[in-house]
């Protein structure tokens, strides 16, 4: 999801400070939700499933070095700029649960292409194709539940793959191309919760941390949103998601922040 040739601001952050603040917020959330009163084992219940296709109107900023021997570049792309060059995007979250136990997943696939004429005579034009895949699979455990609120702990793995292809059209110099890609897996832990604020409205969100130097050095994923229930099987959510990842592997650098409005529809069966 990166054009890689557009300069801009570099996302600045102190990883340890953010991690401490996030864990403090998670602890406060846990302390203020009462414990479930019934079915502590969560055994013998039928499984329920949730599928939620969504659109994340995210911009992208940070620093990247993803192709061959090209130097790192600073990027700052709005969602509008990404949308103008979007080839395909697919995003869906899924969850299954029985009593206190559950599994969850999230898949994002985004392909962007862009091209323009070059300024000098050496090459006639440049085109960039970029593909980003993020897939998460986790196990869930319900820590607390009341008639209005529920809180789940989550632990799992998040797979990342970033691939960029650059092609320079022939001019004075013959045509040339370069490609770069990297993939890795991050361990992920965190909390997800929901609380009703009206007969049909509710607040929902999550806060995850990951990486820990296994795949990326650090990863943070935070979302908060407002939802509306249309029926027992269909609801909708709109909110704001912030996702940060810092990955360095030799010459490969992917230190980025994605953030923007997320909207989705949830189907239960």
The tens digit of pLDDT for each residue in 64-116 reads 888 776 778 788 888 888 888 888 889 999 999 999 999 999 999 999 887 76
Please tell me the distance from the alpha carbon of residue 111 to that of residue 113, in angstroms, as a whole number.
7
**Domains along the sequence of the chain with CATH:** 15-268 (2.40.128.100)
CA distance linking residue 53 with residue 264, whole number of Å: 6
pLDDT digits (tens, 9 = 90+) for 13-44: 344 444 444 444 444 443 334 333 334 444 44
Indicate the pLDDT class of residue 3, thresholds 50, 70 and 90: very low
Which of residues 177 and 254 earns the better pLDDT score? 254
Q: What single-letter DSSP state applies at residue 122?
A: S
Which tops the pLDDT comparison, 119 or 138?
138
pTM confidence score: 0.80
Q: How far is CA 206 from CA 161, 209, 220, 222, in A?
A: 23, 10, 11, 6
CA-only gyration radius of the chain, Å: 21
Contact 184, 245 (CB under 8 A): no
Greatest mean pLDDT range, 47-51, 61-65, 129-133: 47-51
H or E stretch covering 24: helix 15-31
* Euclidean distance between CA atoms 182 and 42, whole angstroms: 40
Which residue is listed with tokens 């929902």? 204
Q: Which residues contact 250 (CB under 8 A, 6 or more apart)?
A: none
Section 126-144 average pLDDT: 92
């Amino acid at each position: 999801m990166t054009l890689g040739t557009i300069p801009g601001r570099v996302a600045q952050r102190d990883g340890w400070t953010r991690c401490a603040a996030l864990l403090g917020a998670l602890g406060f959330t846990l302390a203020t939700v009462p414990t479930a009163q019934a079915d502590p084992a969560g055994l013998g219940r039928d499984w329920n499933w949730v599928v939620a296709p969504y659109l994340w109107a995210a911009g992208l900023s940070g620093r990247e070095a993803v192709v061959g021997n090209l130097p790192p570049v600073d990027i700052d792309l709005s969602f509008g700029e990404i949308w103008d060059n979007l080839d395909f995007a697919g995003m869906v979250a899924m969850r299954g649960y029985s009593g206190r136990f559950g599994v969850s997943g999230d898949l994002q696939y985004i392909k962007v292409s862009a091209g323009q004429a070059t300024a000098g005579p050496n090459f006639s034009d440049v085109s960039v194709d970029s593909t980003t895949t993020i897939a998460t699979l986790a196990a869930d455990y319900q820590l607390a539940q009341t008639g209005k609120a529920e809180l789940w702990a989550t632990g799992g793995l998040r797979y990342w793959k970033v691939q960029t292809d650059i092609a320079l059209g022939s001019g004075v110099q013959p045509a040339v191309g370069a490609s770069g890609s990297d993939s890795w897996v991050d361990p992920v832990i965190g909390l997800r919760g929901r609380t009703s604020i009206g007969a049909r409205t509710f607040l929902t969100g999550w806060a995850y941390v990951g990486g820990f130097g296994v795949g990326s050095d650090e990863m943070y994923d935070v979302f908060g949103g407002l939802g509306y229930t249309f029926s027992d099987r269909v609801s909708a959510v709109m909110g704001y998601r912030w996702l940060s990842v810092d990955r360095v592997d030799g010459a490969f650098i992917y230190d980025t922040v994605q953030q923007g409005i997320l909207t989705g529809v949830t189907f239960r069966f």
